[in-house]
Amino acid sequence: MITKKIYLKGYNLLSMMIAMVIFSIIFISFEKFSIRQISDKSHLFLQLQAMQIAENQLSMLASGKSCKRVVYQNNNNFNISCSDGKIEVDYKIDSFILEK
């Protein structure tokens, strides 16, 4: 009987470390991309809310009602200033101006 030893090649420490580094880079890149997307969507949502608030104030002024000073909506404060021909809505990131 002839016995033959079979040696299985396994991963050595260096190749495991390289694989972990590549995986970490891909994971961190994807996470940063996701955080950026969420931040951009949040900013766009706040901007859309400010636009809707300004339009509502314009319709209130057109119906003869007074302009509100502050609107609290979805855990955000929107400060509103109405002047001749202009409605400005300030929020924590930016501001939106609607001119008549």
pLDDT (tens digit, 9 = 90+) per residue, 21-62? Answer: 999 999 999 999 999 999 999 999 999 999 999 999 999 888
In-domain check, residue 27:
yes
Domain of 76 in residue numbering reads as 13-99
- pTM summary value: 0.70
**Pair of tokens at residue 85:** 């021909």
| Burial (0-12, 13-18, 19+ Cβ within 10 Å), 98 | middle
Q: What rounded mean pLDDT belongs to the chain?
A: 88
* Sign of the C-alpha dihedral computed for residues 73, 98, 94 and 79 taken in this order: negative
Domain count, the chain: 1
In-domain check, residue 7:
no
